[in-house]
A and B are shown apart, each in its own frame.
Chain A
């Protein structure tokens, strides 16, 4: 009996007695670091910084390229709603990310308080924190206008009254001033390291400063064209009197960077189109790129741009690919080599009076090399294969035979004939080249990039030297220094094969706008540029606009994306057999014309934000 009682007591001890309840319940997490642990080790501080770099706000990133098709640069081959919405929502493009601001403020405060870091580490981390914060405010002011400037972490004390935490919106100009001053203040604290592309550097601080000042200057100058886009206290709108000073700041910052000779235009490949495409692909000693979000295979940080945009016939992954189709609107904007503009020559008047081409790519010959550096045209070579794009065959009697399957074969006079390209286009067929073109810019030609398991490590370029030159040119132009402007703009054009320099007299607003359009397409500039020049409501005016015949004019309406569909002539024995003709097409999926309303210049501040802080004023025209 005693031994039973004893074993029972032992069992009781095993079940309950080993630990007290508090200790038993204190389970330690396997993935949480204490604040002191993080700020005691520079490697972990870098981990905290990495998180903040990863979350740099950006309208378009490689994984959400779809927004490009919201304007007139591209057709969304599979996301047709973008062409069926007339109005842009006032909520579009909004950003009010004070959670991010708070984390940056905490980062700066904690680095400053850290005892275990070297002074050099502290200086660099604090400067990086200030860069990230200024950059975040720049992103916010672009979208919302003036926002409350909060530069230290705030905490509510649960007292039941949080009124003491309310801040008003700063003036739009105050936010720009803050951003510009911060970039200026940290430039010398950051390393002068042009090969550092993924962290803040001296070069990045100056490039950012030039861009911010240019934006502020153009809002000040062109705001007069949209007098209702204004708030009385200056939260929205910058007085025209400030324009010149901003342009001077922009030019000075750009010139400081240019004269520092840290960066230069990328010129490696003999083929100028390939050279242009390689700016975004070549990570080894890239002299042009200033700041990127970097990606790396087999690291977990990869993106799906190539997966979603590989030409449909070359797809490495089932039906994936071909989602973003550059539009004819964009393609015809690229100049001819004599610096003139012209629509693509596809017919001699009547739409069925075709011009015949031996090869489809011949239509695009003799144009700005950036065209084929940005866009894969029908017949272009990608991954060593020609892109097979045609919408149908035209028989001798003029009838068109087409199909609804990629590369479909049909029987014509007893012979099997391919009636659709292997990459389409077929209307409504997701991923087929419904716009007539595919993306080359950012499209990774490496095998495996189109596989869902591998994907792409092409980096996302946020700042590059060509933009600095164009910013300098624009600021100089706005300051009336057209010769200076021509000098900078011609560097960029020369690299693209436009070897006839623009003269001082040819530097116009249209030229400035156009150059940015073709150099910086799909690089997250279009919307911000159109907004700051206050021409977004003119170009996207909601009219059922036809494709313009003046592609070089900045204010031509362009509310619907047009496609260019090649056809093959099928007339065995005839002279034009196997030649190519083209038709301009407005897809049946494009059912609406985009309208950019005055209320879209600054995104809506949500009711939730205003309810929780009544000092926040609403944006105009909404």
Chain B
């Protein structure tokens, strides 16, 4: 553990300690208490209603049965209780000398007064004009994923999700309406990147709001892929101080991973494969028999999966927070610690500590200030594994290592065996033998806010300054090691291989980010007219410095880097700067008609000075038809049809992440001159830094602009029991980079014309959601579902040129869906040699002489008698997308002290192209997955080429033969995935208040929770998780998590 880590751990412990002291103190201060039940107009219990003692900071909330208990000092007989609940009218009751006060409150006639976080502010839900969805801590809190992203699967209509990688600390890909790229993340008012969003403590999240349409345009040049706004929890003024403990401990297992064959099967298959290819094999029946017995030295089988994978890997999370407020100050402070191990043993780990401190103070009638501090530290550590990604080798080992190979010579753990691929020998992939990799990210984000209520009614001035410092350090040390071969006759361990390459790397990265905002806010109501206006200016400056040094150390035992051993050093320093001006006016009339007009003028440092500024206006409107008198007369009391709101929005958004030639735009591309350090040369024996001419100025490009249209409908039925939304949208994007190819500039000029904003594409789709709230015989339940479809379509390439009509058919993008996968279509398998001999189409390009029974027959789509790439047709979806069609199902039940919740998510219209280990038996001469081995076409006697064929489902085996025609991309290998998976299930029990009260505990709840428990899908036969993306199927899949937890409130 390095020094920083110690400090942060100490800090977390200190916070926990202080919180515990506060708990014990507050528990001592009570004198007498009032208890009672809060019910609604139909007598139903209202859990979570707030009860406070007027004019004090004493308060509580009701439990699942609607019961509250509130402490009152004995002498306070003239106190007043204030009972409030969202959607209900608050009620005040004099206390007097009573000790039991039951309260019935009535629903607010104005309906739901829910407040939604929007860009630079909040709005009442009914006045929202855009396509905006939100989830709250209640939805997020029950998903025990390691990252915040992981909590969102299936929760929000119009948000697509795919978690291909499930390693400790890994995050999912999320997309808003499949618009491509990352959305913009706003955390507590300022823009942040995805890793910061991922690594918030889910416990600290109050709400997550998604701006899906023109409502995002207020964020200007980075909003074209939608915006996700996160607000962290804050205490409320007048809220009783509460301490919350939330903890769980759980066990992880891989959802799925391909299974492999044993040594006997491996050799049997190899003999078969050799006979299939050459007609002969060197493997004899005698040897096969020895493998089948499997006891003789050299003929034993080894199960690498069992050797590497450790089941029930632990994951735990503990969060302790305190929140509350007086009439002047409110606070929320919290500390969270997550520890996530991996199924690859105790040495591949992730952990994270978060602290959050949100304090607001009303320091005068007009002035309010706040300080928000978020801090976190993430640590990833694992053995130092040669090669790029350290998680690859251990997974790869399961298929790469042959079952006849063993990790230790003569099974003696002191001697690493020399196997065919030493890098995947799990026997040495541990801290002791192979070294380590440790990455630590630490960040602290203090944020100051001030608010001044001007003497002009409704006019507020707000200022914000946010600073972020992030430090990350990567330490890699890979040791040298030797491998051995054991000679059983001489009983000697001979050194026969290993690595003499010690590798030591340090990367230090520092980011300083400064963001300032100043805003004017005006809200006023004139009769039935409500006006809200916002003017805001924002500046961002972010500097990133990166230093990397690498050495080849002389010893494995000292981690300090020596100058004499340095082989590489790299230094980088980037700064980015952005400026934005925002204006927005909202107008509402009679709570019926709403209009919002907004615009942002934005500038980004990365474009040429003449192309830096862009303006992004938007307009949206909503009409609550249900508020119209004619509608009311039509629907009567509104019990069947409660609310109907029509929304429409249109706006212009930007995306400054232009990617000419599919690489990120160099921010100084507009700047000609020489790039210094484009490599080095050894000139006359002296190392000389090379400098390359940057070519002509790349100054004709700017933002992508997106025009977003959204038409939506919000409704509620059956007295608000059913609520729902429906949306249709289309985003037309203009200005995709392309070269003006209608001017033929000879290539002999020596440069390509710079790209300009020329081409167009679109994303179209829709989404809907429906929630039912009900109760039957004391069981309160909600059932919610959502469904989204979003797909991108290329509209207009700039002056496309095709060599011929075939190329046009194959390569044209004009007005076509994107995400199409091309391949051959399999129409069957050869059933006999005779069929092959008489088959009219040349399937393998070699007159079918490489074909044997069981091999794949492709459709000769162009009828030219030969199968080649010209016969490829669209056979499925892209392999890297989030699902085009996705959805979620959410269910909650509550009965007395029990609560149950289940979340499902579904996806379709995505694909995996099974390749490498998923396609080729004995890939890299390694093991064979069962999915290729079982039920294959084979000969009755594998060693006899003349023996009859036994039909199977799988193609006959070949030994690492990637060139065979069976290996073509085809619908045999491309799998269009469909899945419905259970994300979370949670069963909780809240202990009766009577019991907990004695222990001075406000609320005590225990729960058992699962994550990814099961999945209904079509990827199961291949041993892969439905969200896996790596074509070899060897990605670290998501894990199944079973955990047990506890919530305590004091």
Contact = CB atoms under 8 A, between A and B. Distances in A.
Interface string B455-480: 00000010101000000000000000
Interface stretch (B208-216, B485-493, B1019-1027): B485-493
B527 interface: no
B676 A50 contact: no
A38 interface: yes
Interface stretch (A206-214, A233-241, A316-324): A316-324
Interface string B669-699: 0011111111111111101111111111000
Contacts of A32: 668, 671, 673-676, 694
Interface string A585-622: 00010000000000000000001110111100000000
A539 to B, nearest CB: 25
A16 B420 contact: no
Interface residues of B, number: 99
Contact of A33 (B297, B500, B676): B676
A51 B681 CA distance: 7
A47 B748 CA distance: 25
Interface stretch (A155-163, A507-515, A523-531, A562-570): A155-163
Interface in B127-166: none
B489 A612 contact: no
B537 A15 contact: yes
Contacts of B671: 29, 32
Interface residues of A, number: 102
B539 A16 contact: yes
A267 interface: no
Which among A50, A98, A428 has the greatest number of chain B C-beta atoms within 10 A? A50
B808 to A, nearest CB: 14
A402 B282 contact: yes
A11 B463 contact: yes
Contacts, number: 282
B497 interface: yes
Interface in B182-233: none
Contacts of B121: none
A452 B386 CA distance: 10
Nearest to B695: A99
Interface in B307-352: none
Contact of A299 (B278, B579, B604, B680): B680
Contacts of B12: none
B680 A300 contact: yes
Interface in A1-58: 1, 4-5, 8, 11-12, 14-16, 21-22, 24-27, 29-35, 37-38, 44, 46-51, 53-54
A35 B386 contact: no
A15 B539 contact: yes
A46 B682 CA distance: 11
Interface in A374-420: 402, 404-407, 409-411, 415-416
A30 B544 CA distance: 12
Contacts of B691: 33, 38, 44, 47-48, 50-51
A50 B690 contact: yes
Interface stretch (B39-47, B239-247, B738-746, B781-789): B738-746
Interface string B360-386: 000010110000000000000000001
A576 interface: no
A4 B503 contact: no
Nearest to A193: B684
B963 interface: yes
A106 interface: yes
B364 A4 contact: yes
Nearest to B750: A102
A81 B609 CA distance: 50
Given A29-B668, A35-B673, A14 B516 contact: yes
Contacts of A11: 450, 463, 465, 518
Interface stretch (A112-120, A290-298, A346-354, A466-474): A290-298
B517 interface: yes
Contact of A613 (B487, B572, B693, B744): B744
B423 A318 contact: yes
Interface in A438-474: 447-448, 450-454
A268 interface: no
A570 B878 CA distance: 57
A352 B135 CA distance: 80
B803 interface: yes
B672 A35 contact: yes
A601 B852 CA distance: 39
A157 B452 CA distance: 56
Given A25-B605, A199-B684, A319 B568 contact: no
B689 A50 contact: yes
Contacts of A177: none
Nearest to B267: A404
Nearest to B850: A591
Contact of B579 (A25, A46, A153, A295): A25
B539 A24 contact: yes
Contacts of B675: 31-33
A198 B461 contact: no
Contact of A155 (B490, B577, B696): B696
Nearest to B422: A318
A12 B672 contact: no
Contacts of B667: 27, 29
B680 to A, nearest CB: 5
Contact of A165 (B497, B498, B683, B749): B749
Which among A8, A12, A33, A166 has the greatest number of chain B C-beta atoms within 10 A? A8
Contacts of B489: 409, 415-416
B518 A15 contact: yes
B603 interface: yes
Nearest to B421: A319
B1040 interface: no
Contacts of A87: none
A614 B745 CA distance: 11
A15 to B, nearest CB: 4
Nearest to A51: B690
A405 B748 CA distance: 53
Given A15-B463, A416-B487, A301 B676 contact: no
Nearest to B672: A35
B552 A451 contact: yes
Contacts of B609: 22, 25-26
A21 to B, nearest CB: 5
B503 A98 contact: no
B801 to A, nearest CB: 7
A249 interface: no
B10 interface: no
Nearest to B693: A103
A429 interface: yes
B733 interface: no
B575 interface: yes
Interface of A: 1, 4-5, 8, 11-12, 14-16, 21-22, 24-27, 29-35, 37-38, 44, 46-51, 53-54, 81, 84, 96, 98-103, 105-107, 148, 150, 153-156, 160-162, 165-167, 196, 198-199, 294-301, 313, 315-319, 402, 404-407, 409-411, 415-416, 422, 428-429, 447-448, 450-454, 588, 607-609, 611-614
Pairs A-B, 9 closest by C-beta atoms: A102-B750, A15-B516, A451-B501, A613-B746, A416-B489, A294-B682, A50-B681, A316-B500, A51-B690
Given A301-B681, A422-B496, 16 more contacts: A15-B517, A21-B579, A29-B667, A33-B675, A100-B750, A107-B693, A148-B748, A198-B683, A198-B685, A316-B499, A317-B500, A318-B386, A406-B418, A411-B297, A416-B487, A448-B552
9 contacts: A27-B667, A29-B668, A31-B677, A47-B691, A51-B690, A103-B750, A162-B743, A162-B749, A428-B960
Interface of B: 278, 282, 297-298, 364, 366-367, 386, 418, 420-423, 450, 452, 461, 463, 465, 485, 487-490, 496-503, 516-518, 537, 539, 541, 550-552, 566-568, 572-579, 603-605, 609, 612, 667-668, 671-685, 687-696, 743-751, 753, 801, 803, 925, 959-960, 963
